[in-house]
Amino acid sequence: MRATKCVPQKISKLLLGSLLLAAAAGLIVIGITLLPVIGFVLAVPVIVLAIYVLRLHLSDQCEIDFPEK
C-alpha cells in the first residue's frame, strides 16, 4: 500500500489530539485563574480524551508491521 493513503488519517489524528490538548490547557488556565474547581474538573476528562485519541490505532493498512522474533 502506498504511504500517501495513510497521510490524511495521521494528520487528522494528530490535529484532533492537538486540539484536545490545547482545549485542556485552556481549561487548566481557567481553572487556575477563574473557576478553580470547575476548570480542573472539566480539564481532566479532556486530557484523558486527548491521550485516547493520540493512542488510537490507525487502520490495518496504515499500521507498521514489525517482524516477530
1, pLDDT greater than 60: no
pLDDT at 46: 93
Q: What's the structural domain count of the chain?
A: 1
Here the cell at position 20 is 484536545
Report which residue type is found at 67.
Answer: P
Indicate whether 43 belongs to any domain: yes
37, pLDDT greater than 80: yes
Q: Which domain holds residue 47?
A: 12-55
- Per-residue pLDDT tens digits for 39-68: 888 899 999 999 888 888 777 777 665 566
- Contact indicator for 31, 38 with CB cutoff of 8 Å: yes
Q: Pick the residue with more confidence: 49 or 2?
A: 49
Indicate whether 65 belongs to any domain: no
